[in-house]
Amino acid sequence: MQEGRQGDLVELVRESIRAAMIETHTALPGRIETYDAATQTATVIAEIQREIKRDDGTTFSRSVPTLLEVPVLFTRAGGFSITFPVAAGDKCLIVFAERDISGWRSIGGESLPPSARRHAYADGVAILGLWPSKNALSPAPSSSALEIRSDDGDIVIEVSADGVSIDTGSGTSGVTLDSPAGPFEVTSLGRINLTRGPNELLGTISAALTAIAAITVAGGTPIDPTPLANINAIKVLIDAMRT
């Protein structure tokens, strides 16, 4: 009889542990349903269902409740951030905090949690980037350089030991660089457009070339036709850059 009671107690403890573990949430793959860029939070759907055991020993599946106002994690430190244009359908990893983080999210800093909940659905954080293997990046990322790229590899910014390269692929917008000293644009065709005071600057250069060309002419005949041809070719290019 004593042995039977001990066995019952062991099984009761096991069931208690199993029940507690069912409500201890750690991490699940998820899908962004909606995203609020202003607050960097999302409505997220967990893509792994729960398995529920009935009293008769059979089981059934149930979807995890929709997670609301989930913070979306971007790489951020030192006053700089790497952000993404989050869209509905993007995949993520939902990590559930050990304790209630609602108070910390409101005020930051070291503090006690507002409630005693642990590993709860309400304390999920979405980490972008976890996708099924069928959605692996193709072509594969570089094994020797840092890349910022479109998923299809058409547009790539690559940083390696050899330097920095920018490939705009089939895009038509080109590369725009802006600074207080004077912005300029490199188009998809490799053309460089000045975007601050270009007409004044290019006009001055064009006029100077015209004057130089005039100096090289004596009696209507060029002193040396080769330099004059080069000057005129440069002037044509400068005039083509003027908007």
d(CA 58, CA 221) in angstroms, rounded, equals 103
Of residues 87, 88, 91, the one with CA closest to residue 46? 91
**Cα dist. 183→21, 35, 175, 187, 206 in Å?**
58, 33, 11, 13, 20
Residue 222 has pLDDT above 80, yes or no: no
Shared domain for 20 and 120, answered yes or no, is yes
131/50: higher pLDDT: 131
The answer to which of 6-20, 65-79, 181-195 has the lowest mean pLDDT is 181-195
Domain count, the chain: 3
Shared domain for 71 and 105, answered yes or no, is yes
Shared domain for 91 and 194, answered yes or no, is no
User: What is the sign, positive or negative, of the torsion defined by CA atoms of 22, 122, 132, 50?
Assistant: positive
Shared domain for 13 and 85, answered yes or no, is yes
Whether this model's pTM surpasses 0.75: no
Shared domain for 144 and 27, answered yes or no, is no
* Residue finishing a domain among 109, 136, 163: 136
Shared domain for 220 and 199, answered yes or no, is yes
Shared domain for 18 and 43, answered yes or no, is yes
Domain extent at residue 148 = 137-171
Mean pLDDT of the chain: 84
Residue 225 has pLDDT above 80, yes or no: no
Shared domain for 96 and 158, answered yes or no, is no
The DSSP output letter for 127 is E
Shared domain for 24 and 38, answered yes or no, is yes
Residues 186-201 have pLDDT tens digits of 776 666 666 666 666 6
C-alpha torsion angle, residues 102, 106, 112, 118 (rounded to 10): 10
C-alpha torsion angle, residues 82, 85, 88, 93 (rounded to 10): -10
User: What is the sign, positive or negative, of the torsion defined by CA atoms of 223, 213, 185, 164?
Assistant: positive
Shared domain for 47 and 109, answered yes or no, is yes
- CATH number where 66 lies: 2.40.50.230
Shared domain for 109 and 146, answered yes or no, is no
Of the CA atoms within 13 Å of residue 134, those in its CB half-sphere come to 0
Shared domain for 33 and 7, answered yes or no, is yes
Residue 232 has pLDDT above 80, yes or no: no
Alpha helix segments (H runs only) across 70-218: 102-107, 198-215
Q: What does the pLDDT read at residue 14?
A: 79
